[in-house]
């Protein structure tokens, strides 16, 4: 069977698993604000889905996105999730022979997009105590060449949870500007950070800010995000977008409601996320061979190193899956370091994390004795 069929069947099984504890995809499973739910239901009851949304998004939503980001002299396009924004940006800006520079680990799909158009990918290792699990701007400068067309920065980093300081962001922006490169700032997890700085503040002319409603608002299945840049660059990207007939209008109505109640609703979501992380850190500290190397995390997830416990991440995932708990193996994010860790998502009901912490010691013991072949993606 072809890999794409196996991969789809794997996720189809997950989606159709009753009671699955989704602790591996960074998705937000907290109950929606009533105003958000009402907006979604009203849009469906009004049967708005018969019409196309405006090609760049509903004007009210576009204005709210810019207000939330707090950026001036820019404009935005509503996209089919952050992934569509990344796909379109990479395909529009890269040519064969160009380079995309990013970190290792990073979010893997933009690298595949770059390679699909004949560009090459340069990854800078940031995993490990020797790097502090973060990107030093000086190391970025060493890897940028005349071929570098895009610097792709996931900040906060998925899967590590590190976040650049304002000084680091300014230096990274300067490096990209000096190279004449575009800077894609994928800030999908900015709402979970303790402090976050947008690169567009320092390099507005060629920074593309990518943001998602999947994580903070919990709209993963509704597919809505945004691409924000200076008007001339957006004009270039708006000539042939993949969603030129507009993104999901039901999702846009819900996103409008979500932004309007964000200040009221999201602080509780963030508090739950951080409480869940603290509980996992406490549990991991009592299991020999495990550690959480990046804490506190600036994302809605943690990585748990298991290499010193003598277990394969895939074996831990498989053991937890028997309890209907889904976590992610490190290899999804990085081939180089994927054998060292699992990733656990934390914007979930507290009960899910209670169950994870209950099952984790036994899962590690089971994984030590496992020699199976695991079909994970």
What Rg, from alpha-carbon coordinates, does the chain have? 20
Q: Position of tokens 């979970």?
A: 192
- Per-domain boundaries in the chain: 3-32+262-368, 34-260
Q: What is the reported pLDDT for 370?
A: 84
Are the beta carbons of 55 and 245 closer than 8 angstroms?
Answer: yes
CATH code, 34-260: 3.40.640.10
Q: And the tokens for 248?
A: 């999901």
The CATH number corresponding to 3-32+262-368 among 3.90.1150.10, 1.10.40.30, 3.10.20.30, 3.30.465.10 equals 3.90.1150.10
Q: What is the model's pLDDT at position 87?
A: 98
Give the per-residue pLDDT at 374: 81
Distance CA 200, CA 74 (A): 9
Phi and psi at 248, nearest 5°, equal -40, 110
Cα 178 to the center of its chain, rounded Å: 27
Query: Going by DSSP bridges, is the β-strand pair 325-326/21-22 parallel, antiparallel, or unpaired?
Result: parallel
Round the average pLDDT of the chain to a whole number and report it: 97
pLDDT for 353:
98
* DSSP output for 37-64: HHHHHHHHHTTGGGSPPPTT--HHHHHH
Beta strands in the chain (DSSP E): 21-22, 75-79, 99-104, 120-125, 148-154, 182-186, 207-212, 225-229, 301-305, 325-326, 328-329, 341-345
**Residues of the chain scoring pLDDT < 50:** none
E strands along 155-289, which residues? 182-186, 207-212, 225-229
The pLDDT assigned to 373 comes to 75
| Model pLDDT, residue 138 | 98
* E strand map for 222-261: 225-229
Backbone dihedral angles phi then psi of residue 334, each to the nearest 5 degrees: -155, 125
CA separation for the pair 148, 134 (Å, rounded): 21
Angle at which helices 59-69 and 249-285 pack, to 10 degrees? 30
| Helix-strand-coil split of the chain, %, nearest 5 | 45, 15, 40
> Which pLDDT belongs to residue 191?
98
């Amino acid at each position: 069977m072809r890999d794409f069929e196996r991969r789809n069947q794997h996720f189809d099984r997950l989606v159709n698993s009753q009671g699955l504890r989704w602790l591996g995809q960074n998705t937000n499973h907290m109950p929606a604000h009533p105003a958000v739910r009402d907006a979604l239901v009203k849009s469906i009851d009004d049967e708005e889905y018969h019409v196309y949304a405006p090609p760049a998004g509903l004007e009210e939503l576009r204005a709210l996105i810019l207000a939330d980001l707090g950026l001036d002299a820019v404009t935005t396009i509503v996209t089919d999730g952050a992934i569509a924004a990344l796909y379109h940006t990479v395909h529009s800006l890269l040519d064969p022979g160009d380079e995309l520079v990013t970190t290792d680990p990073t979010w893997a799909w933009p690298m595949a997009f770059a390679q699909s158009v004949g560009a090459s990918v340069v990854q800078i290792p940031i995993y490990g105590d020797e790097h502090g699990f973060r990107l030093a701007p000086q190391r970025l400068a060493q890897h940028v060449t005349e071929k570098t067309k895009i610097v792709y920065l996931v900040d906060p980093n998925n899967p590590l949870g590190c976040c650049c300081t304002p000084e680091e962001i300014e230096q990274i922006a300067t490096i990209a500007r000096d190279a004449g490169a575009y800077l894609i700032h994928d800030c999908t997890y900015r709402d979970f950070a303790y402090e976050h700085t947008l690169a567009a503040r320092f390099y507005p002319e060629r920074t593309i800010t990518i943001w998602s409603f999947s994580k903070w608002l919990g709209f993963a299945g509704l597919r809505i995000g945004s691409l924000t840049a200076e008007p001339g660059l957006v004009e270039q990207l708006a000539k042939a977008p993949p969603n030129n007939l507009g993104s999901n209008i039901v999702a846009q109505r819900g996103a409008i409601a979500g932004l309007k109640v964000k200040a009221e609703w999201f602080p509780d979501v963030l508090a739950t996320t951080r409480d869940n992380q603290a509980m996992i850190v406490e549990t991991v500290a009592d299991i020999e061979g495990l550690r959480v190397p990046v804490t506190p995390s600036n994302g809605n997830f943690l990585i748990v190193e298991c290499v010193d416990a003598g277990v394969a991440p895939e074996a831990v995932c498989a053991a937890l899956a028997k309890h209907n708990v889904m976590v992610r193996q490190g290899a999804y994010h990085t081939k180089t370091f994927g054998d060292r860790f699992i990733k656990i998502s934390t914007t979930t009901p507290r009960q899910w994390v209670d169950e994870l912490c209950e099952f984790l010691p036994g899962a590690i013991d089971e994984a030590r004795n496992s020699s199976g072949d695991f079909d994970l993606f």
